[in-house]
Amino acid sequence: MDERVTIPGLLKLKEKGEKIACLTAYDWPTALLLDRAGIDLILVGDSVGNNILGYPSTIPVTMDEMIHHTKAVRRGVKRALLVGDMPFMSYQASAEEAIRNAGRFIKEGGADAVKLEGGEEIAELIHTLVRRGLPVMGHLGLLPQRTAQVGGYKVQGRDEASAKKILHEAKILEEAGVFALVLEMVPWPLAKLISETLQIPTIGIGAGPYCDGQILVITDVLGLSLGVSPKFAKRYLALAEQIEQAAKAYCTDVKSLTFPTVEQHSFAMDEEVLKKLSSDG
């Protein structure tokens, strides 16, 4: 097996110019398969809310739900760096609460690090977490926990003022101690500039090809997203259609007595035992 991916290892990949492949995972079998396939970083995203748990967004996701999914993913991951996504209101109320919740991801969930959405306003908090031994990945650009404020899932940093703000905040987060930075839905030239400016790796999602790594939501990759997949995602399978077809075929088999068969899917028993049972009964 390849060596475990570490935080210094990610920095080395950036230095070597080797791209970092990241995906989200929410359960044990998927995590095991992604890890086996050589994915460098697995994020237990709060996107579990709208992709797995049936919530309308990431907002309702709780710490307990995140820990439950992180533990499952941990059992499948041997090589990749495992990052837990801090859900809405798990780090906003106070530094003390943020430290406790980040600690739960590492101690209970088995994550190697946590991810927080936000810029300058959480830089001090990130510094506090990192100084206490809780590694943090940053997240700028489109922040799914704040889509109500910006009016939906929209590209961020298109005009000069907002692009300057994102670049400035990227530098501030690096200074605060994040080991990597997710850039979500920002124009590729801005993502390229940030990637060239920072020492730490940038991980893009809808941020073009010049980031140091890429991340996608696994259900978009597998064609298992039941809503609309974002324009920037690439679909490699059509699992939703396949699952529905399989369930329909099963349904038909059961109703037409095609499944199960005595020969293939059932267990026989000794005829003498059966005779005794019949005569006793």
Active site residues: 184
What the block records as the tokens of 138 is 């940053």
Nearest distance in Å: CB 215, ligand KIV = 5
What the block records as the tokens of 180 is 């990597």
Does 119 sit near ligand KIV (CB under 6 A)?
Answer: no
Q: Which residue is nearest to ligand KIV (CB)?
A: 45
Does 145 sit near ligand KIV (CB under 6 A)?
Answer: no
Nearest distance in Å: CB 256, ligand KIV = 41
Q: CB nearer to ligand KIV: give 231 or 265.
A: 231
How many residues in the shown chain lie near ligand KIV by CB under 6 A? 11
23 Cβ contact partners less than 8 Å away, ≥ 6 residues apart: 34, 39, 42, 43, 215, 216, 217, 218, 221
Segments in 152-209 forming alpha helices (H) = 160-176, 188-197
Which residue shows structure tokens 């267990």? 267
Residues 74-113 binding ligand KIV (CB under 6 A) are 85
**How many degrees, rounded to 5, is the angle at CA 247 between CA 246 and CA 249?**
65
Does 219 sit near ligand KIV (CB under 6 A)?
Answer: no
Q: Directed axis angle between helix 123-131 and helix 160-176, to 10°?
A: 20
Q: Which of 10, 25, 35, 45 binds ligand KIV (CB under 6 A)?
A: 45
Nearest distance in Å: CB 101, ligand KIV = 16
Residues 193-212 binding ligand KIV (CB under 6 A) are 205
CA–CA separation, 52 and 85 (whole Å): 15
The DSSP letter of residue 121 is G
Does 217 sit near ligand KIV (CB under 6 A)?
Answer: yes
CA–CA separation, 89 and 116 (whole Å): 11
Does 224 sit near ligand KIV (CB under 6 A)?
Answer: no
The residue range among 41-49, 101-109, 126-134, 249-257 that interacts with ligand KIV, by the rule CB under 6 A, is 41-49
Q: CB nearer to ligand KIV: give 81 or 215.
A: 215
Q: CB nearer to ligand KIV: give 46 or 169.
A: 46
What the block records as the tokens of 155 is 């590209």
Nearest distance in Å: CB 95, ligand KIV = 22
CA–CA separation, 236 and 246 (whole Å): 19
Does 182 sit near ligand KIV (CB under 6 A)?
Answer: yes
CA–CA separation, 3 and 79 (whole Å): 7
Q: Which of 5, 24, 69, 74 binds ligand KIV (CB under 6 A)?
A: 24
| Residue whose C-alpha is closest to residue 158's, from 211, 230, 217, 206 | 206
Contacts with ligand KIV, residue ranges (CB under 6 A): 24, 43, 45-47, 85, 182, 184, 205, 215, 217
